[in-house]
Amino acid sequence: MTVSKTLIDDTVERSALTLGMVGGGHGSFFGPVHRAAMRLSGRWRVAAGAFSSDRDRSIASGRALGVAPDRIYGSGEELADREAARPDRIDAAVVVTPNSSHFEACRALLRRRIPTICDKPMTADLVEANALVDAVASARTPFAVTYTYAGYPMVRQARELVRSGALGPIRLVHVEYLQEWLAEPVEKQGNNQAAWRLDPKRAGLSGALGDIGTHAFQLVEYVTGMEVTEVAGELHRIVEGRQLDDNGFVRMRLANGANGLLWASQVASGVDNALRVRVFGQKGNLDWRQEEPNTLSLAISGEPVATLVRAKPYLSVPSRAAAWLPAGAPDGYLEALAAIYSRIADAVAAGPGYDASREPGFPTIRDGWRGMAFVDAAVRSSRQSGEWIRVPAWGRSDLA
C-alpha cells in the first residue's frame, strides 16, 4: 500500500498561504465546511475576513477564528481595499455569501488583483456573469468557483474515460441532483438557508436550478468535455407560494448533437442529497453517484460491468492525484481519525480536571490492552491446535 504523494504528503516543504474570507461567519452553513477543507489541505490559513455584512457579527466570528482584529472587515470591498494596501496582504480571498453578493465582492477583489475563489452559482444572473468574465480577464489572476464535485477522484476518472474514447461517441447524458430539504415550506418556518435561496433578491433568477442544477450542469460539461448548446425545460414551484423554482426538468443538446436530461429537485422527499451522472456513448456507459463517491461503474457493451475504485493504479493520473488516501481507505477515514483527535483534544484541554472514568469518546489504554490480550490468546490457541484459551478480563487481579 503506497500513499498517493500528491495530496496527503506534507513532508514536502511548501509555503503556507493566507486567505481572506467574505462571508462564512457564525451561523453560516458552508463557512466552516470551507475552512475544514482548507485545514485538511494544509495549504491555507484564514488571516483576514469580512465574515458578515454586520460588522459586529463579523468581528465576533473573526475573533473566534483567531483572526487579528485589524484584519476583520465589514464588507468584501473593504477587505479588498485594505488588504491590498498591506505589505502582508492576503494571498487570496474566498466569497461564500448569498449569491446576489458574489458579484460585488468578486469584482472588488479582482480589481485589486487578489486571486479569488467564489462559491457557486457564480452570480445572480447572466449579466453579472458576463461582467465578471471581463473582470477576470482584466485581473489576470487565478479565479476559482467551488464546484466541489469536480474535486472527486472518480469524477476526474469519468472525464478521462470520455476523453480516451472508451465509451465511443457520446450519445446520451442523464444527470440528476435530488434533495428533500425544501419539500415543506421551511423558508416560512425560520430556516434562513431556505429563505435566501428562495428569495429572488438574494438568490438571483433561479432557486433549485441555480443552487444545485448548476452543480449537475457543471458535471455534464466537465465529464463530457463538451458544451451544452441548447436547453429546453420546465421549472416548477411545487410547494405553493414560492417565487423561485424548487424542481426542474431540462432537456439538453450537446455540442456533438448528443441528447441529455437534467433533473434538479429540492422537494424530492426521502432523499438527502443524491447527485448522479450517467454518460452513454456508442460503446458503453459510465455511472457515478455522489453517495458512493469512491467507485465509478463502467459498462462496455459485451463485457462484464467494471467497478473502478478510487486511487487504484489502473486509474488516470488526474484521478489518482485527487485522492488523499490509498484505495481501500475510502473517504471517511480521515474524518473518523479527526473525530478521535478532537475528542483527545477535549480530554487534554480539560487538564487536571480530566476524569478518566468517563467514556472519553476515544479508545484508551483499556482498548489497547484488550487488543494485546486477544492477540496473545489467539497465538497461544493456534499453537495448541486451536484449543480454547481464556482472554483475561480487564481490571482483574491476575493482570499484575
Tell which positions 186-215 bind its own copies, by CB under 8 A.
193, 204-206, 209-210, 213-214
- Contacting its own copies (CB under 8 A), which of 55, 84, 172, 196? 172
The answer to whether the beta carbons of residues 260 and 228 sit under 8 Å apart is yes
User: How many angstroms separate the CA atoms of 247 and 178, rounded?
Assistant: 9
Least distance between its own copies and beta carbon 265 (Å): 7
- Contacting its own copies (CB under 8 A), which of 43, 111, 163, 202? 43
Query: What residue ranges in 67-218 does DSSP mark as E strands?
Result: 92-95, 116-118, 143-145, 170-179
Q: Decide: is 175 part of the binding site for its own copies (CB under 8 A).
A: no
- Contacting its own copies (CB under 8 A), which of 121, 162, 224, 320? 121
Cα angle: 355, vertex 359, 363; to 5 degrees? 105
Q: Decide: is 128 part of the binding site for its own copies (CB under 8 A).
A: yes
Q: Decide: is 217 part of the binding site for its own copies (CB under 8 A).
A: yes
Question: Quick one: which of 275, 324, 384 has its CA closest to 37?
Answer: 324
- Contacting its own copies (CB under 8 A), which of 20, 23, 25, 98? 25
Q: Decide: is 377 part of the binding site for its own copies (CB under 8 A).
A: yes
Least distance between its own copies and beta carbon 378 (Å): 5
- Contacting its own copies (CB under 8 A), which of 15, 164, 189, 397? 15
Segment 301-330, which members bind its own copies (CB under 8 A)? 301-309, 312-314, 318, 321-322, 324-330
Long-range CB contacts (< 8 A, 24+ apart) of 234-240?
235/206, 235/208, 235/209, 238/267, 239/182, 239/183, 239/184, 239/185, 239/267, 240/185
Q: Decide: is 160 part of the binding site for its own copies (CB under 8 A).
A: no
> CA separation (Å) from 149 to 35, 41, 365, 368?
17, 16, 40, 38
Task: Give the distance between the most distant pair of CA atoms in the chain.
Answer: 79
- Scanning the structure block, which residue is given the C-alpha cell 463538451? 226
Where on the phi/psi map is residue 128: left (φ > 0), alpha (ψ -120 to 50), or beta? alpha
- Select the span of 13-21, 69-77, 81-89 touching its own copies (CB under 8 A): 13-21
- Scanning the structure block, which residue is given the C-alpha cell 481490571? 395
Q: Is the CB of 75 or the CB of 218 nearer to its own copies?
A: 218
Length in residues, the chain = 400
The answer to whether the beta carbons of residues 161 and 286 sit under 8 Å apart is yes
- Contacting its own copies (CB under 8 A), which of 248, 276, 277, 320? 248
Q: Is the CB of 88 or the CB of 227 nearer to its own copies?
A: 227
Segment 256-285, which members bind its own copies (CB under 8 A)? 259, 261, 263, 265, 267-274, 280-285
- Select the span of 67-75, 76-84, 379-387 touching its own copies (CB under 8 A): 379-387
Q: Is the peptide bond before 121 cis (omega within 30 degrees of 0)?
A: yes
Q: Decide: is 397 part of the binding site for its own copies (CB under 8 A).
A: no
- Contacting its own copies (CB under 8 A), which of 168, 185, 195, 199? 168
- Contacting its own copies (CB under 8 A), which of 21, 38, 59, 173? 38
- Contacting its own copies (CB under 8 A), which of 53, 74, 136, 160? 136
Residue 4 is given by DSSP the state: -
Least distance between its own copies and beta carbon 389 (Å): 6
